[in-house]
Chain A
Amino acid sequence: MTALRGAGFAALVCAAVVAQAVVFRFVAIDGVVPDIALVLVVVAAIDRGPQFGAVLGFAAGLLVDLAPPADHIAGRWALALVVVGYLAGRVRDDARSSALGAVLVVGAASFVGTSLYALSGVVLGDGALPVDETLRVIVTSVLWDVLLAPLLVPLLLRAFDLLGRDPVPARSRVLH
């Protein structure tokens, strides 16, 4: 990965984290906002595969964990998004086959990611809510992400196209 491309991905991750805390708070439903960072990780996994999805999930999750106003134990979102990135990468063929497939993958990823995060909170005793409220937050979050997926996924795929591919496959094609 070139430095420029790396900077491009870093900028995308930063923009996603800032957007969900600053811009989308105005449309929050009971405090639940669209999880742009999660959708970004899913799109990365769909576009580049499970390995890249997991790596970007780690980076994005760690930024969500450390950037203000986060006040939970760091590493919890990172763990959730690593798993999300990997799993979304494993089902990337389904996601790429149709638009509906991509939306479904985003919805499933949102459910898995938010649930994993909530579960880690229960295990660590870090800011856990009663089960009914937790479920309400998870369902609202899935609805938000599914609602925004038709808009965000093509937009982010386009951004990924503009950033370009890793040059490794191209070079090896020349060599062999």
Chain B
Amino acid sequence: MLQDRRPRGGRAPTPEQRARRVLGLLVLACLTVITLDARASSPLDPLRSAVGNVVGPMESATATAVRPFSDLGDTLQTNHGLRKDVARLEAANAQLRGQVATAPVDRQRLAELDGLTKVVGDTGYSMVAAHVVAVGPMQSFSRTVTIDAGTSSGVHKDMTVLNSDGLVGRVVRATRSNATVLLIVDTDSVVGGRLGTNLEIGFLRGRGSVGDTGRLALDLVDDSVVPAKDDVVVTWGSKDGVPYVAGIPIGRVESVVSSPRQSSRQAVIEPFVDFTALDVVGVVVPKGTKGDRPVLTAGAPQ
């Protein structure tokens, strides 16, 4: 067995003992960090924004580098037909292949930006367009994404994030060049919503999962109201638009579940936004925001 080469007074610890001590110390350190961060105003927030200032730009740069290949993943993941198409195209020449790889992505982005501009026209809100650069893994059991716009573009905590389909989430943290967005399907997310047909209000809670099962649960304030299937839910809006502005479509009623034990009913809402394919999003900013990227404003052409 390996022995410590420098015994100083008494028996020197074996590597196993040393490893166990290190383990104990590190576990204690972790518990300390957890205890500190579990408080409402975490003393770790400065550290978090410092790490964000370093890692955020790295994520943005990596996202830019892998962008031309991004639709390859969609192909593998969602569409067998497209996979076949790619196989067929691989037989074609290199130039064609390159075009096929990047053109749909560019066109898609243009369409999304176009949609965002239309949303600006419809709602009258001013927006900053941003790309989603990183997505939190489901292993962390939270649904968050990083976008490539931060305080330097006028994006701050508690701002509404949407895309051309509807409400995406809200900004929970912003560094100079990046911001973290909590998606509305996260279990921590609560949004005030209003039924489109009868203007009844309620609260939408995320159920945590994305993809085909990404749903929201709507509890109406008035228990006697039964939401109609396919009724559209929009944000009801908070004071001064913090964290959610009013009138943004969230989703439509998929089904209504009533439990016999309680008198309350819960509606299951299918969100309009496809959270597995988030790319271009808009952050609602106050009018007259100045930043290092253009602010989309209703009425005034850029």
Contact = CB atoms under 8 A, between A and B. Distances in A.
A and B interact: yes
A68 B175 contact: yes
Contacts, number: 208
Given A35-B137, A67-B52, 12 more contacts: A18-B58, A23-B66, A26-B69, A30-B209, A31-B276, A50-B23, A51-B15, A51-B19, A62-B33, A63-B55, A71-B144, A78-B30
Interface stretch (A81-89, A93-101, A147-155, A159-167): A81-89
Contacts of B146: 21, 68-69
A113 B144 CA distance: 20
Contacts of A26: 66, 69-70, 72-74, 77
Nearest to B172: A71
B141 A137 contact: yes
B180 A71 contact: yes
Nearest to A176: B5
B137 A63 contact: no
B276 A75 contact: no
Given A68-B175, A73-B37, A133-B209, A117 B139 contact: yes
A64 B140 CA distance: 9
Interface residues of A, number: 66
A20 to B, nearest CB: 6
Interface string B113-146: 0000000000000000000011111111111111
B270 interface: no
Interface in A22-44: 22-23, 25-33, 35
B13 to A, nearest CB: 11
B59 A55 contact: no
B4 to A, nearest CB: 10
Contacts of B144: 68-71
B181 interface: yes
Interface in A126-172: 126-129, 133-134, 137, 140-141, 172
Interface residues of B, number: 70
A23 B210 contact: no
Contacts of B136: 21, 69-71
Interface of B: 5, 15-16, 18-19, 22-23, 26-27, 29-34, 36-38, 42, 44, 47-48, 51-52, 55-56, 58-59, 62-63, 66, 69-70, 72-74, 76-77, 133-146, 172-173, 175, 178-182, 186-188, 208-213, 276
B5 to A, nearest CB: 5
Contacts of B56: 68
A106 interface: no
Given A18-B62, A21-B59, A74-B48, A127 B137 contact: no
A25 B134 CA distance: 7
B52 A73 contact: no
A22 B210 contact: no
